[in-house]
Amino acid sequence: MTRIVALDADECGFLSLLAGLEAHSEHHVAAAIRREAAARGIAPAHVVDVSARPSAGIVGSDALGVLWAGNLHLVRDMGASVDHARLRELTDSAETVVYLGRGPTVLGAVGVADEARASSAPALAALRAGGVCRIVMMTGDRRPVALRIGALLGLAPDEIHAEMLPQDKVRHVGELAGGGTVAFVGDGVNDAAALARADVGIAMGAAGSEVALQAADVALLSEDMKKLADAQHLARRTAAIIRQNLVVAIGAMLVLVTGGLFFDLPLPLPLPLAVVGHEGGTVLVVLNGFRCCRIRSGGQWTGPHPSVRRRMGWRRRHRLRPRRRPTRRCRRRSRSADQQERKRVRVFSSRSRPVIPPNTHSRRRL
């Protein structure tokens, strides 16, 4: 949060009301407001009967009446006016502006500087390199804010759509679907309808709202946008491997069926050779499918996925080596001294001479 404009000059009381209202919101701007209030040591006010207005803001009430916080859409719905010199300074800036009001009166506003994720620009570049022909940005923020963020991501002005309501996003996704398959990435309540409308809805699982997660087809459990490019590359690679397996399987069956039909020719196909060909084709398909276990990180192949590596008992140092199974003596040494004392474990050497376990006081019999 960059600036606070309290028209009554009481920033602490203003921020307390705003933090109390935004405490009921899942939006990332609300999280920034709560962090600022906590950093200043300001306790949020008690606000009840809170309800969200999609792409507009949030409305609640306290002991003095109805409170609301949101953008210009909510200001107009509440019949308020932002015709004030101090508020116009925020409106002219390239920041997200959140207005706070009570009834038809605006109490003030705050400016929040939205920042693009550090991994967003490389992820978009990787998607373009992976074959994604068109990328657009749809947001409910003001046009200056959207242009600033879009420039950081390398998007052209005609690829940036701002001040969009949920129904506007659904309509635009439908228009894009007329030209091909559409994948929509979102994390908020306002994105739920567009996620359901797209051919593939992808929700940001770490920071996304529950409604968005339920409406999406895929959930990214990380805020790293590079995972999106990796998932797209893995999907294309998997589809290519499936096509290869189909070609191999169908080709092997055609060869075997053709050999069976012409078995009486001078070049017959013996039954053992047919069995070997059939089972060999299956083995080839399985081995080719194992190529999906390889993952890509930063454009380089890093070998099997860590979960596959652990399951197969591999350890990666300079190269993948099979994990050595611990010997019987090592496993015995790993037992605690109490277990050795209770069970009186006797370890015999290769010469069958008794070795007294540690922490025991029995006499050694010669």
pLDDT in tens, the chain (366 residues): 788 888 888 888 899 999 999 888 878 888 888 998 899 999 998 989 888 887 788 999 888 888 999 888 888 888 888 888 888 878 777 788 899 999 888 998 998 887 788 888 888 988 888 888 889 999 888 888 888 888 888 898 899 998 888 889 999 999 998 888 899 998 777 888 888 899 999 887 655 567 777 888 888 887 788 888 888 888 888 888 999 988 888 887 787 777 667 655 555 556 777 677 777 778 888 888 888 776 555 445 555 555 545 554 544 443 444 445 555 554 444 455 445 555 544 443 344 444 444 444 444 443
Residue 132 sits at φ, ψ, to 5 deg, of -75, 120
CB 177 within 8 A of CB 160: no
Distance CA 183, CA 282 (A): 34
For residues 97 and 142, the answer to whether their CB atoms sit within 8 Å is: yes
Q: Which residues pair with 4 in a beta bridge?
A: 110
- Say how far apart CA 272 and CA 270 lie, in whole Å: 6
| Structure-token pair, residue 10 | 């009481």
DSSP 8-state code for residue 271: H
Residue-range domains of the chain with CATH: 3-112 (3.40.1110.10), 120-222 (3.40.50.1000), 228-322 (no CATH), 329-366 (no CATH)
First to last CA, the chain: 82
pLDDT in tens, 171-202: 999 999 888 889 999 877 788 888 889 999 98
pTM for the model stands at 0.65
Q: How confident is the model over 298-309, as pLDDT tens digits?
A: 445 555 555 545
Nearest-5° angle of CA 349, CA 353, CA 355?
70
Distance between CA 202 and CA 30 in Å, rounded? 23
What pLDDT does 295 receive?
58
φ, ψ for residue 44, nearest 5 deg:
-65, 145
Residue 218: count of CB within 10 angstroms of its CB: 15
